[in-house]
Amino acid sequence: MLGRDLVLEAFRQYGVEYLFGNPGTTELPLMDGLVNYPEIKYILGLHEDIAVGMAAGYAQATGKPGVVNLHVAPGLAHGLGNIYDAYRAGVPLVVTTGQHDIRLGVQEPALWGDLVALAKSCTKWSYQVHRAEELPIVLHRAFKEALTEPMGPVLLSFPVDVMWQDVPLSPLPLTRIDQRVSGSREAIRQAVALLRAAERPVIVAGDRVGRTGAIPELIRLSELIGAPVYQEHQSAGLNFPYNHPHFAGRFLPNGPAIHEALKEADVVLFLGVISQAPLLYFDKPLVQPGTKVISVDLSPWEIGKNMPADVAILGHPREVLAAWVEMLQAELTPADEGRCQKRREQLQQQQREREEAKARELAAVQEQMPLSPAVVMAELNHYLTDDVFVVDESVTAGRYVHRYLELRRPGAFIGLKGGGLGYGMPAALGAQLGRPSERVVAIIGDGSSYYYIQSLWNAARYNLPVLYLIINNTSYMILKGGMLTLNGVSAKQGAFPGMDLDQPEIDLVSVARGFGVEAQRIETREELKKALQHAFSERKPYLLDVVVDRTVKPYLA
């Protein structure tokens, strides 16, 4: 078979359903071969970064690798934004690119570039194929690496001449590594001793909790020892149900706030945590000196990365938690149980107080015009059933998303971990492809939406019933809030250069309709209620341009 046929046959054998991309001349051999593989559906994006975002959303929704094909150096460069976001989020992506004939590269033709070097900083492994005989090994390695924790993107560059070469070989069967290890018995016992003796234990749940299916075990541990659970900041997924009485909230990427939340703890358990640094420099330790730290992860790089751990376990979060629970159940004394019960009662009281505070906050902005994002999320929360999948790139409104939405279903939430805007619009489409029986709701800031607003064309073309809620404050509001926090000239004069998205204000409804998507502008709560009812009654793409409060408030203070 030809090199290009071996690539496509490997895709088929490895269970690839969709190939996302935006083709160019160097991809023509692969596109020609694709005609013979109707089981692999090509999903066209109008920009390479849209193709990457769709592939990433599909991977996050299904747990399968997202496969994307990009066009030489400019195409890969276009896709790097969302490759970076996928890298930070640990998304299994197999990124492939076309490349000029190897014999031509030395002449530096148009579009040529060192693709391996270009992708190196945001991939687990990158390689340019030199001969078709290499294809079985490199394809197997790429899929294996993408799917092995710590998961992430890999890159394969396919020169045109390699695609046309005859190769008397076949794809290799895919190796899947069983990583369900629980660490040494000694380390498990040390951690249990700390947890059992703790007076004020705190748990921080990271993205490898949700990704390894460890949420039920984490709930059991939290309930057993009476510990509050925080979700790591900038989380890519759901790692603890928000409606559980032990859920203490999702960290903001704010050093002082994290420090404050952890300052009273005598034992802190970091479980599968990847986001370990605040967004801005903070000159104090996040954990107080003298506090005992337990760190568990499948990546040795993440264990003790920014602070020493008293007990460090290289292990699968679900397996480690199960071992702890089993040992604690056998060893907790009546005195231990009495202390744990007291903490459980305190956590339940704190949850009641939080709910009362939320109700007061919501009541205070019920009649506010323009709408408060709190009201928008409270209304959306009524539709958060077990077949709704949420994608969040609301940025400034994110604090309201995580306060007023009762996210509770494992594997049904995608957040922006890398911080690069332009991920949510296409990721929602990929998630909808991966979960066709569910309804994807994408909560996107207006500034974010404009990066790849042409993603709406994909929603219409492939009839993907994504509901886009655009939270429209006509600005990069998070940056304005940051300017207030700086308290410099900008804050004193109320001037925010380069941060307004008006004059002219963008007509999102007309833009959406131009791409074939039904849309409506929302200015009141009644309009929002009716529009949500309408949107959820039909299975087709829909966009709501929701006008919200434009008051600038300090951020990351």
Q: What is the mean pLDDT of residues 144-159?
A: 98
pLDDT digits (tens, 9 = 90+) for 439-457: 999 999 999 999 999 999 9
Confidence bin at 275 (pLDDT 50/70/90): confident
Confidence bin at 278 (pLDDT 50/70/90): confident
What proportion of the chain, given as a percentage, has pLDDT over 90? 94
Q: What is the mean pLDDT of residues 63-87?
A: 98
Decide: 55 and 92 in contact? Cβ < 8 Å.
no
Residue 415 is predicted with a pLDDT of 97
Give the architecture (CATH level 2) of 3-164.
3-Layer(aba) Sandwich (3.40)
pLDDT digits (tens, 9 = 90+) for 173-189: 999 999 999 989 999 99
> At residue 79, does pLDDT exceed 70?
yes
Phi-psi region of 361 (alpha: psi -120 to 50; beta: other; left: phi over 0): alpha
- In 214-333, which ranges are continuous DSSP H helix? 215-225, 255-262, 317-331
pLDDT digits (tens, 9 = 90+) for 488-510: 999 999 999 999 999 999 999 99
> At residue 557, does pLDDT exceed 80?
no
Reported as type and span, the H/E element at residue 467 is strand 467-472
> At residue 475, does pLDDT exceed 70?
yes
Give a three-class secondary structure readout of 240-254.
CCCCCCCEEEECCCC
> At residue 434, does pLDDT exceed 80?
yes
**358 to 286, 365, 372, 377: CA distances (angstroms):** 27, 11, 13, 12
Residue 556 is predicted with a pLDDT of 64
Amino acid in the structure at residue 162 = V
**181 to 28, 212, 300, 313: CA distances (angstroms):** 44, 12, 13, 10
Confidence bin at 281 (pLDDT 50/70/90): confident
> Higher-confidence residue: 256 or 209?
209
Q: pTM surpassing 0.75?
A: yes
Which residue, among 41, 412, 114, 444, has the nearest Cα to 238 in the 3D structure? 412
Average pLDDT, the chain: 96
Contacts of 412 (CB under 8 A, 6+ apart): 238, 388, 389, 390, 438
Q: Rounded distance, CA 123 to CA 23, Å?
A: 21
Which of 3.40.50.2300, 3.40.50.1220, 3.90.1150.10, 1.10.10.10 is the CATH number of 185-351?
A: 3.40.50.1220
Which CATH topology does 366-547 take? Rossmann fold (3.40.50)
pLDDT digits (tens, 9 = 90+) for 362-376: 999 998 999 999 999
Q: Is 156 exposed, middle or buried (0-12, 13-18, 19+ CB in 10 A)?
A: buried
Confidence bin at 205 (pLDDT 50/70/90): very high
Confidence bin at 284 (pLDDT 50/70/90): confident
Count Cβ atoms below 10 Å from residue 366 Cβ, excluding itself.
Answer: 12
> At residue 115, does pLDDT exceed 70?
yes
> At residue 334, does pLDDT exceed 80?
yes
> Higher-confidence residue: 281 or 179?
179
Confidence bin at 279 (pLDDT 50/70/90): confident
Asked if the domains 3-164 and 185-351 are classified in one and the same CATH topology, the answer is: yes
Q: Rounded distance, CA 98 to CA 369, Å?
A: 51
Domain segments of the chain as ranges: 3-164, 185-351, 366-547
Confidence bin at 555 (pLDDT 50/70/90): confident
pLDDT digits (tens, 9 = 90+) for 413-433: 999 999 999 999 999 999 999
